[in-house]
Amino acid sequence: MSGTLRISICDPNETSRDDLKKFLVGMDNVWLEADCSRYEFFVEIVEQTTPDLAVIDLDANEQNALDLIEKIHGKFPNTGIVAISSRSDGQLILSAMRAGAREYLNSPIQIEELMGALDRVASTSADGSSRPKKSGSIISVAGVSGGVGTTSVAVNIACALGRSADNSVVLVDLDLSLGDADVFLDLIPEYTLLDVTQNISRLDLALMRKSLTRHESGIYLLPRPIQLQDMNAVDTEDLKKVIGLLRASFTHIVFDLSKSYNHLDIAALQLSDHILMLTQLDLPCLRNVVRLLSSLDAYDGVNEKVKIVVNRTAPDKSQINEKKAEETIDREIFWRIPNNYQVISECRNNGIPLHVHSPKAAITNSISELAHKLDSEDLGDSSSQGDDQGKKGGWLKFLSK
């Protein structure tokens, strides 16, 4: 199933409705937008929530349910409809399909049948044509050491992505102790990640957006908790629920990770589509690249998503050339961001993104191109900027010419 499906359900029977909710909440790429116990109220709920799919149980009153399907199909043709009933009567199935249902399932529901039905409805538009759905893409920016520019890159990638009218972007600060993404954007947030996780069971998409702080560039920020004592109050399961809601609401989620690689960082990495590992061409940083890549092997699917990004490149001043760096880390360099300490310092101190402060600077263009590359549907069409991948070498090779 591609993308995050926003689903609203209607079933007057509390027991079967709760069973269905348990199925949906436990599925990946599904967000339960609303549930309703009255047929007569469901049209209004669909109008308010605009779900991708409406799931309607017929058993409480078949004729009222069929009338409801017909109304929703006529008023909201882009909302797919799945009908559910304990009856497998051919005439009822035909009536549901004629009313506008695209799938018909017998209860009690089998998880495999439900997943298949949701997948088919999600991938097909009202006229039967293929309907690709853009999922919320998750980009995690991770540093191999403190001071490598993780926050600068995360903030400015988010702003670069947000400049496209097709994108909606949220930046999440996962450095719960010392994160300062709000400073880089000159924002004073009213709510933090802790506030959202503590109220996640009561949030819908509208309330989630109200809990975020909007920057004038158009991106949204979800900052770290205010107090140090609160850094342990956010657990992994709550973070995953937040991510699920954000994926249903935004085209891009950018994580600024901490340097501790704690349980929240690992959860974000596992859910990410792209992981930018920022390093510099010095011995301590490159040593940490090797160590981190080796450690991330313990988590299925994480290592293959890692892209090595060298920040603050200055070829004439670096003692370690890129070819030797690639040989040692056994990985190609995916991207290079040129050094411009003065511009970055001014942006940080004034809370101004690069594209506003220095729109024509080489560093601004580099980060914008990186954002565009990540936003591309097919990364494989564009080769990285690095040389051919070499074999592993010893640490002392860095110092040889």
pLDDT digits (tens, 9 = 90+) for 43-82: 999 998 888 899 999 999 999 999 999 999 999 998 999 9
Of the three residues 97, 122, 147, the one that is the final residue of a domain is: 122
393 band by pLDDT with thresholds 50, 70 and 90: very low
Task: Give me the domain span that covers residue 59.
Answer: 5-122
Same domain, 91 and 146: no
Q: How far apart are CA 61 and CA 236, in angstroms?
A: 41
319, 392: one domain: yes
State if pTM tops 0.75.
Answer: no
95, 122, 149: which is the final residue of a domain?
A: 122
pLDDT of residue 3: 58
Tell me whether residue 129 is in a domain. Answer: no
Q: Does a structural domain hold residue 379?
A: yes
Number of domains in the chain: 2
> Dihedrals φ, ψ of 377, to 5°?
-70, -30
Lowest mean pLDDT among 254-268, 337-351, 375-389: 375-389
Average pLDDT over residues 200-217: 83
Structure confidence at residue 32 (pLDDT):
85
What's the pLDDT score for residue 399? 40
pLDDT(170) > 90: yes
pLDDT score, position 178: 94
Residue 130 counted as domain residue: no
What average pLDDT score do residues 172-176 get? Answer: 97
Question: Which comes out higher in pLDDT, residue 355 or 316?
Answer: 355
- Is residue 277 located within the same domain as residue 380? yes
Does residue 127 fall inside a structural domain? no
Query: Are 116 and 196 in a shared domain?
Result: no
Measured in whole angstroms, how far is the alpha carbon of residue 200 from the centre of its chain? 17
Within 145-252, residue ranges assigned H as helices are 150-162, 181-184, 193-198, 205-211, 236-249
Q: Residues 107, 165: one domain?
A: no
Are both 35 and 109 inside the same structural domain? yes
Query: Same structural domain for residues 314 and 226?
Result: yes
Pair 311, 259 in one domain: yes
In a domain, 132, yes or no: no
* Residue 165 and residue 49 share a domain: no
pLDDT at 169: 94
- For 117-126, 248-257, 391-400, which range has the lowest pLDDT when averaged over its residues? 391-400
Residue 269 sits in the same domain as residue 392: yes
User: How many CB atoms sit inside 10 A of residue 49's CB?
Assistant: 18
Q: Do 382 and 238 share a structural domain?
A: yes
Give rounded-to-5 percent helix, strand, coil for the chain: 45, 20, 35
Decide which of 181 and 321 is more confident. Answer: 181
**Is 239 a member of any domain?**
yes
- At 193 the pLDDT is 96
- CATH number at 32 reads 3.40.50.2300
Q: Is residue 392 part of a domain?
A: yes
Do the domain assignments include residue 329?
Answer: yes
Residue 389: what pLDDT?
Answer: 37
Query: What gap in Å lies between CA 267 and CA 289, rounded to an integer?
Result: 19
Residue ending a domain, among 58, 93, 122, is 122
